[in-house]
A and B are shown apart, each in its own frame.
Chain A
Amino acid sequence: MTITPSIMRDFLIKLSSEGKRADGRKFDEFRNIKIEVNVVNKAEGSAKVTIGNTQVISGIKIDIGVPYPDSPDSGVMTTSAELIPLASPDFESGPPDKESIELARVVDRGIRESQIIDVDQLCILPGEKVWMIFIDIHILDYDGNLFDAASLASLAALMIAKVPIERLKPTLDKLKDKYPDIEQYLNQHPKDFPLPLSEPPISCTSAKFNSVVVMDPSLDEEQIAEARLTVATDNNGDIRAMQKGLNGSFSVDEIKKVIKSSIDNGRKIREQLYKSVGK
Chain B
Amino acid sequence: MTKEQREIVIPSQLLGDVKNKKAGRGTFVEKGKIYAEILGVLNASSEHVDVIPIKGRYDPVQQDFVIGIIIEAMQSSWLVDINAAYPALLHVNEVPWDVDFGETEKYLNTGDCVMAKVSQVDQEKKLQITLKDRNLYKVKGGRLIDIEPQKVPRIIGKKGSMISLLKKYTGCRIFVGQNGRIWIDGSYEGIKKVIDTIYLIEKKSLSYGLTNKIEDLLKINAKEVH
- Which residues of A are interface residues toward B (Cβ below 8 A)? 3-11, 15, 18, 20, 22, 24
Contacts and interface: CB of A to CB of B under 8 A. Distances in A.
A266 to B, nearest CB: 29
B103 interface: no
Contacts of A20: 188
B141 A10 contact: yes
Nearest to B188: A20
Contacts of B142: 7, 11
Nearest to B109: A6
B36 interface: no
Interface string B78-99: 0001000000000000000000
Interface string B187-225: 010001000000000000000000000000000000000
B105 interface: no
A18 B188 contact: yes
17 contacts: A3-B71, A3-B111, A4-B111, A5-B112, A5-B144, A6-B109, A6-B112, A7-B113, A7-B139, A7-B142, A7-B183, A8-B144, A9-B111, A11-B141, A11-B142, A15-B188, A24-B192
Contacts of B70: 3
B192 A5 contact: no
Given A3-B71, A3-B110, A8 B143 contact: yes
Contact of B113 (A6, A22, A24): A6
Nearest to A11: B143
Given A15-B188, A20-B188, A24-B192, A7 B71 contact: no
A7 B141 contact: yes
Nearest to B112: A6
Nearest to A23: B192
B111 A6 contact: yes
Interface in B122-139: 139
B9 interface: no
Contacts of B69: 3, 5
Nearest to A14: B141
B165 to A, nearest CB: 23
A4 to B, nearest CB: 6
A5 B71 contact: no
Contacts of A11: 141-143
B1 to A, nearest CB: 38
A8 B71 CA distance: 15
Contacts of A7: 113, 139-144, 183
Contacts of B71: 3
A220 to B, nearest CB: 10
B184 to A, nearest CB: 10
Interface string B133-158: 00000011111100000000000000
B81 A3 contact: yes
Contacts of B141: 7, 10-11
Contacts of B183: 7
Given A5-B111, A15-B188, 20 more contacts: A3-B70, A3-B81, A3-B110, A4-B111, A5-B69, A5-B112, A5-B113, A5-B144, A6-B111, A6-B113, A7-B141, A7-B143, A7-B144, A8-B143, A9-B111, A10-B140, A11-B143, A18-B188, A22-B143, A24-B192
A9 B141 CA distance: 10
B210 to A, nearest CB: 25
The interface centre, meaning the residue of A3, A5, A8, A9 with most chain B CB atoms within 10 A of its CB, is: A5
Contacts of B111: 3-6, 9
B60 to A, nearest CB: 18
Contacts of A22: 143
